[in-house]
């Protein structure tokens, strides 16, 4: 209960700050460090993150646990907890996605954002977010970023604002452990408490 309250409080504070950050790669520091970091993180193709997530839509906030497994372009994302209503999952790749909710027929489509928005009232672009979770921009569209040392501190992409208040070292690399993602009246706070970048391809 204390963790949930803290998560919600942090969401309110961080979303208030994240929308005001100025993005300017010209003052980012050594480009070579960022290039090396970006290339190294981009090479991670099989990974898993265990996280707590708080979602604020307008004035309503919900929390849940999130397990995200990525195997190249294939993903499996499982949500459990209060807003999960018994749990639901997203499974798919760059071409199609299936939303599975307990006691309901699977919902299939081409874009995660459209399915989530129509069924759950909120959205997140998984196609981009699989890069954002690792702390790098998606290569699919243009982006603007602020860097500190070799890592992202803020990112704007496709109308989304992403900020990175905290990282930790995982193996030889630094990966995010706290991420704020926002767009219009939709805000996410993701607190990642476990990373596995040595995931066997057969596990996901």
Give the residue extent of every domain in the chain: 2-203
Cα 13 from Cα 117, distance rounded (Å): 25
Residue 14 in this model has a pLDDT that exceeds 70: no
Percentage of the chain lying above the pLDDT 70 cut: 79
Report how far apart, in Å, the C-alpha atoms of 59 and of each of 18, 82, 156 are: 17, 17, 23
Put simply, whether the predicted model's pTM sits higher than 0.85 gets the answer no
CATH topology of domain 2-203: outer membrane lipoprotein receptor (LolB), chain A (2.50.20)
DSSP string, 111-171: -HHHHHHHHHS----HHHHHHHTTTS--TTS-EEEEEETTEEEEEEETTEEEEEEEEEEET
**pLDDT of residue 12 exceeding 80:** no
User: Given pLDDT bands bounded at 50, 70 and 90, which one contains residue 27?
Assistant: very low
Enter the DSSP assignment of 38: H
| Residue 129 pLDDT exceeds 80 | yes
Identify the pLDDT of residue 6: 46
Average pLDDT over residues 38-54: 95
pLDDT of 29 > 90? The answer is: no
Res. 65: pLDDT tops 70: yes
Using DSSP's 3-state secondary structure scheme, residue 195 falls into: strand
What is the chain's percent helix, strand, coil content, to nearest 5? 25, 45, 30
User: How does the average pLDDT of the chain come out, rounded?
Assistant: 83
The string of pLDDT tens digits covering residues 85-110 is 568 999 999 899 999 998 899 999 99
In whole angstroms, what is the distance from residue 144 CA to residue 46 CA?
26
């Amino acid at each position: 209960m204390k963790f949930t309250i803290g998560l919600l409080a942090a969401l309110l504070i961080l979303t208030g700050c994240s929308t005001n950050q100025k993005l300017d790669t010209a003052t980012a520091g050594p480009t070579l460090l960022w290039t090396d970091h970006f290339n190294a993180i981009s090479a991670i193709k099989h990974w898993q993150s265990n996280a707590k997530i708080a979602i604020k839509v307008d004035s309503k906030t919900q929390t849940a646990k999130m397990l995200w497994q990525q195997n190249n372009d294939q993903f499996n994302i499982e949500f459990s907890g209060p807003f999960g209503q018994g749990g639901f999952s997203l499974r798919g790749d760059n071409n199609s996605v299936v939303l599975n909710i307990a006691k309901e027929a699977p919902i299939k489509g081409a874009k995660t954002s459209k399915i989530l928005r129509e069924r759950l009232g909120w959205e997140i672009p998984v196609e981009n977010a699989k890069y954002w979770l690792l702390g790098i921009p998606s290569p699919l569209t243009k982006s603007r970023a602020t860097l500190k040392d070799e890592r992202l501190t803020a990112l704007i992409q496709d109308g989304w604002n992403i900020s990175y208040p905290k990282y930790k070292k995982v193996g030889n690399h630094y990966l995010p452990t706290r991420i704020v993602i926002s767009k219009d009246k939709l805000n996410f706070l993701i607190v990642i408490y476990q990373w596995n970048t040595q995931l066997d391809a057969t596990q996901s």
